[in-house]
């Protein structure tokens, strides 16, 4: 066969797609080695095949394309006689496209599965963190309940000031021996922006306030229970609303809760 006949026969397409009968492969490979025009035609067919596959599927690295083409060339399972070369070429092209499309589909499924695994792993890690935080808070609450339920602590109710916040209330758990107090601020409304609640230890006659400390942001404290140490011997406790950072003396017009200690 002449060069023109080889190019027009459709055998080059079958060779590139790996569908050329085995007995004709040596003839085509010899033609590729002998005729630059045939070798160029084979290269153009391979380029067209890659371009066509890119249209129907996402791009892949060149190394994978090389592997795909090499794998296609190793397939030798179609027997066609020389009188049906045009149909054979079409069949070869279709088989190659389906093969590459299937590979891309499997790669896409694999990537989707990997993404799903990453999402599930992230969700599991977030769930573990929430569980750990919850368990930590539960442990803290149980520890506080054990402390506050001890006979060493006296519970002092601080009702709301009718003139300022009648619905407000607080509770102080006071250990007189260790000068230790836990203030339960659950019944206090949220402090306005730029304001903070301040706890005072009070002597009543004459009225002598001593700063115990600030409650800070009630909502950010997980249990709304604040610990204070080095409490002097008080006769009462009061909580006022002060400018952020606290005050040296209580603002009595902003006294939210007040309660006396039973003798």
* Average confidence (pLDDT) over 94-110: 66
Considering the domain architecture, whether residues 220 and 164 belong to the same structural domain is answered as yes
192 φ, ψ (degrees, to nearest 5) = -65, 160
For residue 92, the model assigns a pLDDT of: 56
Among 34-38, 63-67, 252-256, the range scoring the smallest mean pLDDT is 63-67
**Total domain count for the chain?**
2
**Last residue of a domain, which of 107, 128, 163?**
107
Considering the domain architecture, whether residues 94 and 186 belong to the same structural domain is answered as no
Does residue 147 have a pLDDT over 70? Answer: yes
Q: Kindly state whether residue 247 falls inside one of the protein's structural domains.
A: yes
Q: Kindly state whether residue 231 falls inside one of the protein's structural domains.
A: yes
pLDDT band at 83 (very low <50, low <70, confident <90, very high): very low
Cβ atoms of 161 and 257 within 8 Å: the answer is yes
Q: Kindly state whether residue 256 falls inside one of the protein's structural domains.
A: yes
Q: Kindly state whether residue 125 falls inside one of the protein's structural domains.
A: no
For residue 237, the model assigns a pLDDT of: 95
- 240-252 pLDDT tens trace: 999 999 999 999 9
Considering the domain architecture, whether residues 250 and 193 belong to the same structural domain is answered as yes
Considering the domain architecture, whether residues 256 and 168 belong to the same structural domain is answered as yes
**Last residue of a domain, which of 107, 141, 175?**
107
Does residue 85 have a pLDDT over 60? Answer: no
Residue 10 to residue 196: CA distance in whole angstroms: 87
Residue 112 to residue 153: CA distance in whole angstroms: 59
Considering the domain architecture, whether residues 168 and 89 belong to the same structural domain is answered as no
| pTM score, whole prediction | 0.48
Considering the domain architecture, whether residues 161 and 242 belong to the same structural domain is answered as yes
Return mean pLDDT, the chain: 78
**Last residue of a domain, which of 49, 74, 107?**
107
Q: Kindly state whether residue 67 falls inside one of the protein's structural domains.
A: yes
Q: Kindly state whether residue 113 falls inside one of the protein's structural domains.
A: no
Considering the domain architecture, whether residues 7 and 103 belong to the same structural domain is answered as yes
Residue 97 to residue 105: CA distance in whole angstroms: 12
- Residues spanned by the domain of 33: 3-107
Residue 130 to residue 107: CA distance in whole angstroms: 35
For residue 77, the model assigns a pLDDT of: 43
Q: Kindly state whether residue 22 falls inside one of the protein's structural domains.
A: yes
CB atoms within 10 A of CB 244: 11
For residue 168, the model assigns a pLDDT of: 94
Considering the domain architecture, whether residues 101 and 17 belong to the same structural domain is answered as yes
Tokens in use for 231? Answer: 């409490």
Considering the domain architecture, whether residues 169 and 231 belong to the same structural domain is answered as yes
Tokens 């506050």 found at: 148
């Amino acid at each position: 066969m002449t060069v023109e006949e080889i190019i027009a026969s459709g055998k080059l397409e079958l060779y590139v797609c790996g569908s050329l009968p085995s007995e004709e492969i040596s003839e085509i490979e010899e033609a590729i080695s002998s005729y630059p025009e045939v070798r160029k035609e084979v290269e153009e067919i391979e380029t067209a095949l890659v371009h066509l596959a890119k249209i129907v599927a996402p791009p892949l690295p060149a190394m994978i394309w090389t592997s795909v083409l090499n794998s296609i060339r190793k397939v030798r399972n179609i027997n066609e006689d020389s009188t049906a070369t045009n149909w054979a070429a079409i069949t070869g092209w279709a088989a190659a496209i389906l093969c590459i499309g299937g590979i891309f589909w499997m790669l896409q499924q694999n990537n989707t599965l990997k993404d799903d695994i990453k999402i599930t792993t992230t969700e599991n890690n977030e769930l573990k963190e929430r569980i750990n935080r919850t368990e930590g808070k539960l442990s803290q609450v149980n520890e506080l309940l054990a402390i506050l339920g001890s006979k060493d602590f006296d519970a002092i109710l601080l009702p709301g000031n009718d003139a300022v916040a009648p619905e407000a209330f607080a509770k102080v758990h006071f250990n007189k021996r260790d000068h230790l107090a836990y203030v339960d601020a659950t019944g206090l409304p949220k402090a306005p922006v730029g304001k903070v609640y301040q706890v005072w230890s009070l002597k009543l006659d004459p009225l002598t306030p001593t700063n115990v400390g600030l409650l800070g942001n009630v909502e950010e404290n997980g249990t709304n229970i604040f610990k204070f140490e080095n409490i002097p011997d008080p006769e009462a406790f009061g909580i006022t609303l002060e400018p952020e950072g606290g005050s040296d003396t209580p603002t009595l017009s902003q006294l939210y809760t007040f309660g006396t200690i039973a003798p």
